[in-house]
Structure 1
Amino acid sequence: MELSDEQIDYIQKDINYRGIVLEDLEEELLDHVCTLVEERMSSGERFIDAYDAVIQSFGSDQEIQQVQNQTLILSNNNAKIMFRNYFKIAIRSLSKHKFYSFINVAGLAVGLACCMLIALFVGDELSYDSHHEHKDRIYRVVRHGSFNGNEFHFSVNPAPLASALVEELPEVEKAVRFRSRGTYLVTTDAMTESFKENRLIFSDPDFFQIFSVPLIEGSPETALKDPMSIAISKAMASKYFGQEDPMGKTLTLDGDEEYHVTAVYEDMPTNSHLQFDFLMSMSSLEESKNTEWLSNNFFTYFLLKEGTDAKVFEQKLNDMTERHLEPEIMAYIGKSLEEFKEAGNYVVFNIQPLQDVYLYSNFIFDIGPTGDITYVYLFAAVAIFILVIACINFMNLSTARSSNRAKEVGVRKVLGSFRSHLIKQFLLETILLCLVAFVIAIALASMAIPFFNDLAGKSIEIPLGSPIFYGVIFLCALFIGLLAGVYPAFFLSAFKPINVLKGKLALGTGSSLIRSGLVIFQFFISILLIIATATVYQQLNFIQNKKLGFAKDQVLIIGDAYMLNEKIDPFKKEIEQLPQITSASLSGYLPVHGYNRSDISFWEDGQEPSQNNMVNMQIWRVDEDYISTLGMELIDGRNFNEELASDSNAIILNEAAFRAYGFKKSSDNHGLLTFHFDGETGVVSKDVYDKYNVIGVVRDFHFESMKEDISPVGLSLGRNTSVISVKFATEDIQNVLASVEDTWKKFAPELPFNYSFLDSDFGTMYKTEKRVATVFTVFSGLAVFIGCLGLFALAAFMAEQRTKEIGIRKVLGASVGGIVFMLSKEFSKLIIVAFVIAVPLAWWASSQWLSNYSYKVEIGLGLYLVAGLIAFVIAWLTVGYQSVKAARSNPVNSLRNE
């Protein structure tokens, strides 16, 4: 006769009343008392009589309490002995079940190695610019605004801003400007060749007093003070001067600019967004003296004084800039600042903390390489997912194997083991597994780190020599062991010995439901990662195959063309005569990142400039071969003709510009006006206008990332000698390169031949997305692999548990296919549930990521179905092997003991 819940509750409260408070002793005593009471009640005794008789058999309350005290003393005295015993049993248990132990260790090791690599990546990304002493007080100024419906977001600012910050805002200690002018050819008097360098920048003198870049030689106060002075990194000092002291020596840039070395500094760390080997004095640059507040060519950083409220300061900054902007707005468009704002226009200056620059910047043009906090979150999520899947494997296998360990638990409890002893035992097994897995994970991560660095574009190292690293590893193993083992430990230790030994143990629906839930969660994550990876690849494929408005294939870009000087035109003509070459164009304005840009406001001829008719537009200086060389499509009007003197003021608009001005046909003799701009000084004249005559319209072409809308562009006939674009019509690229290089050496034997391909430069614009796609593919594959590893072991165990059932079914005529279907259908249901749950979240996540692109692929239902099918097939192959193996076994072997 079984006791009711009320009767069991009465017994428990009475035991507590008699002084039993030790949890393990209370549980064992309760279980024992209930069993004895049930036996007496089966003979016809009333509950209360049966209970009193059982309690009296234990003696007085004092005797019961004495048992509790002796238990505590024994437990405390034998802690070390018990631990050794736990350890031995753990080793025996793990070695006895080698297959399941291997699955757990392998899954955990691979998962932990992945987590380790991703953690190092995330840590490196978050560490950018943290090495500067004043990092919490260093900011840079960025601008956001809108003019005549065109929004702009700049990381560059007016030339006079830095001095105004120091002179007009007492909260600012120091300020420094940076100005990039692209690449330079660098050499010394003692060298016979030049080297192309791209890590050069002009800087104000206060650089070394704001940023913590250690000087090896030179003074931080005077290093960049004088015109034509230059500070170089330790690596460049070694490259150009070897063992000689570089101080005071001369570096020649682009053949005619001589800079004197005034300082040598330590190489900038890789986790800095400022990556420069040459710092040239800002006073060397005529443009730095520009006083225009509507210009935008200088990066501006500053150091705030201690205790300054950044938000309050930002408002003061905008008050100051508005005082300077208003006179220029009035001079250019004849409107006050208030009228300018009332028309829907605005200009806002924001301050960006130094440590936010790398991960929280999304500007078309920036001072150095930037990351994306979104991808940091994504990789961290993937690492957590992989770790969770590995932990789920352990929990699934541990609870699934519970029936095999049930009798062990029952016997040990009868022999005096408390539940706490068993919990410690099972947790120790888990932690031991984790420690072994961590050792293997470190080895795997060490082998994989070179490939991961190549994949992620990093130079990360595993800190194997750091004691802190091993301390963290041990704590992580302890934490993960507890995380993965706490449920199985409490689940297994809760078995009632009387039920186990009577054969009445019901592993229960609860265990099965939890196990099923964990499998669903594993494949939910796997399907999510598969869909995310497929989305990224589809977008990249869309970008690569979308019509760009220009032909990026088979275009060779020859750099440093300006160094040819007067030989540049003969060189261009000679390479055009090569049989593989179809055309060549001289211009530094190309529709990919890293080349010239010039943003100026235009308005229609015959009108006065105003906020209503001015359009911000790129103006590119090109030659008459530009459109044909880049495969652009002229949809209206005509191309440039250098023989026509009037074409010196001609302009060809893209469709976006043509629409912005409201023009109908290019033949209507439209004219555009703009303020005269001096490229050397950066000064814009308010009184002198340049006029352009519209002669044609070119089809819209992408010249920035597809995250941006195509904005207005005008092509004007002009002289820009930065690079030469060469269109070739052959698949023999090596022959083309050899022929062009021979021609280059003929004209400039002393200059290096620098080149790239337009399609490669285009691909560089999306290198972050490509890396994300590759990393996602690798880690998604590993996540699925770890999940399948656990599913494989779980399927093997379930087949083992149903061995006799399978034998009986085969004897009764069941086919192999029928048995395979029976064993696999349960897992198939779980995959379907996981798919149904994953699809809505995957759709939302994909939509959020794609929203960053103005031009994006349409994700159809097919992608989700394919992802689900892949997960389904993988699961069936994983489970199917074990199912077929079980179904084909000889029923005699499974039934002979019956």
Structure 2
Amino acid sequence: MLRNYLKTALRTLWKHKLFSFINVFGLASGMLVCLLAMIDIKGAFDYDSFHPNRDRTYRILTDVTDKTNDEQGFATTPLPLAQDLARNYPFVETVTRVVRIYGEVTANRKQLPVVCSAVDSGFFDIFGFKLAAGQAAIAPKTVVLTQQTAERFFGTANPVGKVMDHSEFGPLTISGVFTKHPARTHLNFDMVVSTTTLSTPAWQRALTDWKQYAQGYTYIRLKAGIPIETLEASLPGLASRVTKGIRFAAEKGYTFRSQALTKLSPSREDLMHSTYEPTIGKLEAELGVGLLTLLLAAFNYINLTLARSLSRAREVGIRKVAGALRWQLMGQFMAESVILSVLGLGLAYGMLQLVKPMPFVQQWLIGDVQWENNGTLWMVFVAFSVVTGLLAGLLPARVLSGFQPAQVLRSQTGLNVFRGITLRKSLIVAQFSISLLAMISLLAMARQQHFMATTDYGFKRDGLLTIPLNGFPPARLSADISQLAGVERVSATVALFGDHGGNGQMVYRQKAGGDSSATDVFAADANLIATTGLTLLAGQNLPVSVSDSASRLVLINEEAVRAFKLGEPKAAVGQTLWLNDSTDVQVAGVVKDFQSTTLVWKIHPLILRYQPNDFRYLTVKVTGGNPEAVKADIARIWKRLNPYEPFAGQWYDDFLYNRHSHTDDLNFMGLLLGLAVSIACLGLLGMVTYTTALRIKEVGVRKVMGANVGQVVWLLSWDFMRLLLIAGAIALPLGYLASSFFLMTFAHHITVGIGLLSGCFGTMLLLGGLTIGWRTYRTALTNPVTSLRNE
């Protein structure tokens, strides 16, 4: 019997090729997104699976209670916690701290941003990061690189023993190189250094400061046989002991709790300063998008199957007269649906191979996940495909198998959902509503990225050429470039505006404490103000100097004046700020607020300080009518002074555009939108095609009675166009709300206006109208003699 079901199903699908193609393509599109989500979900549960003794390894979390008794969990802990646990609690076998630090590293004539982690010696015992060469970073000023980082700087050469220059730590000796991680890990880093490298006064204070709980992560491994309840029972008392006598500014206090390494990914709670493990919400959202796309395809199947209900009802009537039972008819229809779904799985795998190389897919979904040779995962894929086919075919099978011959003769095959609106029409509305909602959201995201790439950041960027120094001394290069015709000014900085900023640290109003604020300390020279067109509101510029003697005089922005309660800009001039308990600086002037970082963040307190050892970029102000010729001259100077390193200068506008446009992400999301719109339009095309075929004799009669082509097209199209209008009425307010919530995550963002909404709605009407008009126009051109020949 099953063989007969399959043969009959294949013949029926081959007979109706257009409808079969629409259904297979739609199901494949939905399954593509679902497969990506399922692969990512598998990867989420594979996180940190290669570490030894995972069942005895825990991360310590900090639960902070504020003045209003609200509690917030932090993935971080105070830095002295690890040593206290190791010293005072004998059931702890090994501990380590992990302190995440951002910065730039210069090595082998290359200057690149890196993510660095400072770790204790126990890191190499607790975690299973294996070394491909060299030894662990235990001594001060030593570093271990990942393989990817070693290749970025040194290619295939052995880097062990070579020296790298870190923007904060200075020279670091490479002691080893990690092997590639066998699975994903929540500890994402480019290199690790020993915590003994953190020797500055600021770091020494942080390493013993129980008040600061947001600077690093603490991991422990319990001794064998020790239950987790022993650790949990000890943590409340430990927190009470170390916080006794501490006066917090905005908190009542904090407590500690443990989190098993085996339960760390996917993250089941929203922790502040979380690491790189995926969250349950992210996985649910991915799977939700996939199921939503698949639901659109299932709507197509239900729609088209029910649209052909009259002809299938006659088939049902004949089979029932011949003695077929209802469950046998349902089996046939379900077999058709399952075959379509399995064919969709095959097409989805082919589509997956096409999108797999996309950067977004590799970075955020399936990169480093071993899935193609995983038999269990493929069994899940096939089972998912079969279940999808069964669920998609269940409703049509029940409806079609329930027809009675008398109903067929009276053509009573309508299916009312509510108030006379048919199920088929409801599904079309749902499809286009979802597609329009996705279109509005994607366009809002694209416009926000364009806004971040092109908006006014508060400094002049026209005619500015940025040059990464890659470790090359800036003085000689700056002097030679300044001699060129068309070069007005050259400035040296630690970073570029509109990116991550300089060196973020806590700055204090008084040496003994008092008012403090997280501040961006940005290394720059005296030419920065004139080069970038910043406005000096009070005081004077940084002094021109070639030594560190001028580093005590700094510029601050208006936000820093407010943060440190210095009054008016003029009153702030001459005031003293403390970078740590041994370094004080004096405010020489105040500059007007501008956006020194990405627009995701609000304007932060900023200190501009002369620190020539930290300079990583030159910014050249080019004037005249031929800036590209000036750029070529600068490239020749670079080649003469630094012949082994390629010139990487780019215009500031290009840097900001490349930094914020996120073209790869938008391309992938555009692909998803294209799939959703294609599914909806193909489903609409199938519906219009079948509906017009049923009304072909009506069209012939109307044409004989004098109706012209335009009248016939309008007659056939209006019912479908009305559905698009209803979809717009549903999706426009939902799209506005969804886009507004997304944009609220940016400190500076666009507004969702009538132009964006009407543009998306007009696009949907155009696509839907073309789909409807093309099919109805062809029907309207039919010769009435042909359509009325047989009755």
Band the TM-score falls in, shorter-chain normalisation = 0.7 to 0.9
Q: CA deviation at 1:572?
A: 1.9
Q: Which amino acid aligns with 1:504?
A: R
Matched residue, 2:687: 794
Equivalent residues in 2 for 1:363-762, closer than 5 Å: 376-451=283-358, 459=367, 463-500=371-408, 503-510=409-416, 513-552=422-461, 554-560=463-469, 563-564=472-473, 568-603=474-509, 611=514, 613-642=515-544, 649-661=552-564, 665-668=568-571, 670-675=573-578, 677=580, 684-685=581-582, 690=584, 692-693=586-587, 695-729=588-622, 738-748=632-642, 758-759=652-653, 762=656
Do residues 98 (structure 1) and 5 (structure 2) align?
A: no
Contact 2:40-2:369 at 8 Å conserved across structures? no
Do residues 868 (structure 1) and 779 (structure 2) align?
A: no
Q: CA deviation at 1:156?
A: 7.3
Q: Secondary structure at the match of 2:162?
A: strand
Contact 1:142-1:349 at 8 Å conserved across structures? yes
Equivalent residues in 2 for 1:150-161, closer than 5 Å: 160-161=80-81
Matched residue, 1:213: 129
Which 5+ residue runs of structure 2 have no aligned equivalent? Answer: none
- Go from structure 1 to structure 2 and tell me whether the alpha carbon gap of 1:883 and 1:126 turns closer, same or farther (over 3 Å shift): farther
| Aligned counterpart in structure 1 of residue 82 of structure 2, from 162, 174, 194 | 162
Question: What is the alpha-carbon distance in structure 1 between the residues aligned to residue 702 and residue 553 of structure 2?
Answer: 88
Contact 2:524-2:615 at 8 Å conserved across structures? no
Q: Which amino acid aligns with 1:791?
A: L
Q: CA deviation at 1:528?
A: 0.9
Contact 1:237-1:264 at 8 Å conserved across structures? yes
Instruction: Give TM-score, length-normalised by structure 2.
Output: 0.84
Q: CA deviation at 1:857?
A: 1.6
Contact 2:508-2:577 at 8 Å conserved across structures? yes
Question: What is the alpha-carbon distance in structure 1 between the residues aligned to residue 569 and residue 523 of structure 2?
Answer: 19
Instruction: Give TM-score, length-normalised by structure 1.
Output: 0.75
Do residues 250 (structure 1) and 151 (structure 2) align?
A: no
Deviations 1:329-369 (A, max 9, x none): xxxxxxxx44x45xx456757779567689799999998x7
RMSD across aligned C-alpha pairs, in angstroms?
A: 4.1
Q: Which amino acid aligns with 2:561?
A: F
Deviations 1:625-653 (A, max 9, x none): 11222332223443233379997643333
Q: Which amino acid aligns with 2:82?
A: A
Contact 2:183-2:368 at 8 Å conserved across structures? no
- Go from structure 1 to structure 2 and tell me whether the alpha carbon gap of 1:447 and 1:283 turns closer, same or farther (over 3 Å shift): same
Q: Secondary structure at the match of 2:228?
A: coil
Q: Which amino acid aligns with 2:522?
A: W
Q: Which amino acid aligns with 2:308?
A: R
- Go from structure 1 to structure 2 and tell me whether the alpha carbon gap of 1:816 and 1:174 turns closer, same or farther (over 3 Å shift): same
Question: What is the alpha-carbon distance in structure 1 between the residues aligned to residue 572 and residue 178 of structure 2?
Answer: 57
Question: What is the alpha-carbon distance in structure 2 between the residues aligned to residue 598 and residue 439 of structure 1?
Answer: 51
| Aligned counterpart in structure 1 of residue 240 of structure 2, from 310, 319, 344 | 319
Contact 2:359-2:664 at 8 Å conserved across structures? no
Q: CA deviation at 1:524?
A: 1.4
Q: Secondary structure at the match of 1:533?
A: helix
Q: Which amino acid aligns with 2:296?
A: I
Contact 1:602-1:673 at 8 Å conserved across structures? no
Q: 640-649 or 811-820: which moved more?
A: 640-649
Q: CA deviation at 1:721?
A: 3.3
Question: What is the alpha-carbon distance in structure 1 between the residues aligned to residue 282 and residue 709 of structure 2?
Answer: 48
Do residues 267 (structure 1) and 173 (structure 2) align?
A: no
Question: What is the alpha-carbon distance in structure 1 between the residues aligned to residue 634 and residue 61 of structure 2?
Answer: 44
Contact 2:116-2:193 at 8 Å conserved across structures? yes
Do residues 821 (structure 1) and 714 (structure 2) align?
A: yes
Matched residue, 1:308: 228
Question: What is the alpha-carbon distance in structure 2 between the residues aligned to residue 196 and residue 652 of structure 1?
Answer: 27
Deviations 1:164-206 (A, max 9, x none): 343345675412334647343446xxxxx77868465543211
Structure possessing the higher radius of gyration over alpha carbons:
1
Q: CA deviation at 1:573?
A: 1.8
Q: CA deviation at 1:100?
A: 1.7
- Go from structure 1 to structure 2 and tell me whether the alpha carbon gap of 1:556 and 1:845 turns closer, same or farther (over 3 Å shift): same
Question: What is the alpha-carbon distance in structure 1 between the residues aligned to residue 565 and residue 21 of structure 2?
Answer: 71
Question: What is the alpha-carbon distance in structure 2 between the residues aligned to residue 853 and residue 676 of structure 1?
Answer: 29
Question: What is the alpha-carbon distance in structure 1 between the residues aligned to residue 459 and residue 390 of structure 2?
Answer: 59
Q: Secondary structure at the match of 1:177?
A: strand
Question: What is the alpha-carbon distance in structure 2 between the residues aligned to residue 877 and residue 260 of structure 1?
Answer: 63
Q: CA deviation at 1:818?
A: 1.5
- Go from structure 1 to structure 2 and tell me whether the alpha carbon gap of 1:530 and 1:230 turns closer, same or farther (over 3 Å shift): closer
Contact 2:492-2:617 at 8 Å conserved across structures? yes
Question: What is the alpha-carbon distance in structure 1 between the residues aligned to residue 38 and residue 786 of structure 2?
Answer: 50
Q: CA deviation at 1:398?
A: 0.6
Deviations 1:584-633 (A, max 9, x none): 222315434455314333438xxx9664x555543434221112223322
Q: Which amino acid aligns with 1:824?
A: S
Question: What is the alpha-carbon distance in structure 1 between the residues aligned to residue 585 and residue 113 of structure 2?
Answer: 37
Question: What is the alpha-carbon distance in structure 2 between the residues aligned to residue 156 and residue 765 of structure 1?
Answer: 29
- Go from structure 1 to structure 2 and tell me whether the alpha carbon gap of 1:631 and 1:775 turns closer, same or farther (over 3 Å shift): farther
Contact 2:96-2:119 at 8 Å conserved across structures? no
Q: CA deviation at 1:307?
A: 4.3
Contact 2:450-2:660 at 8 Å conserved across structures? no
Q: Which amino acid aligns with 1:301?
A: T
Q: 171-180 or 403-412: which moved more?
A: 171-180
Contact 1:456-1:775 at 8 Å conserved across structures? no
Do residues 174 (structure 1) and 68 (structure 2) align?
A: no
Q: Secondary structure at the match of 1:286?
A: coil
Equivalent residues in 2 for 1:194-205, closer than 5 Å: 198=114, 201-205=117-121
- Go from structure 1 to structure 2 and tell me whether the alpha carbon gap of 1:659 and 1:836 turns closer, same or farther (over 3 Å shift): same
Question: What is the alpha-carbon distance in structure 1 between the residues aligned to residue 97 and residue 465 of structure 2?
Answer: 38
- Give the percent of matched residue pairs that are identical in Structure 1 and Structure 2: 27
Contact 1:141-1:299 at 8 Å conserved across structures? no
Question: What is the alpha-carbon distance in structure 1 between the residues aligned to residue 4 and residue 589 of structure 2?
Answer: 89
Question: What is the alpha-carbon distance in structure 2 between the residues aligned to residue 312 and residue 174 of structure 1?
Answer: 18
Matched residue, 1:835: 728
Contact 1:456-1:771 at 8 Å conserved across structures? no
Q: CA deviation at 1:487?
A: 0.5
Q: Which amino acid aligns with 2:481?
A: I
Q: Secondary structure at the match of 2:589?
A: strand
Q: Secondary structure at the match of 2:382?
A: helix
Q: CA deviation at 1:120?
A: 3.5
Deviations 1:510-552 (A, max 9, x none): 2871111111111111111111112212222332333212234
Equivalent residues in 2 for 1:102-113, closer than 5 Å: 102-113=21-32
Q: Which amino acid aligns with 1:481?
A: G
- Go from structure 1 to structure 2 and tell me whether the alpha carbon gap of 1:513 and 1:145 turns closer, same or farther (over 3 Å shift): same
- Go from structure 1 to structure 2 and tell me whether the alpha carbon gap of 1:799 and 1:316 turns closer, same or farther (over 3 Å shift): farther
Q: How many residues align?
A: 766
- Go from structure 1 to structure 2 and tell me whether the alpha carbon gap of 1:364 and 1:621 turns closer, same or farther (over 3 Å shift): farther
Question: What is the alpha-carbon distance in structure 2 between the residues aligned to residue 399 and residue 538 of structure 1?
Answer: 40
Contact 1:100-1:397 at 8 Å conserved across structures? yes
Deviations 1:234-277 (A, max 9, x none): 67789999999x79x6223349957374x554213573343456
Question: What is the alpha-carbon distance in structure 2 between the residues aligned to residue 364 and residue 824 of structure 1?
Answer: 54
Q: CA deviation at 1:861?
A: 3.3
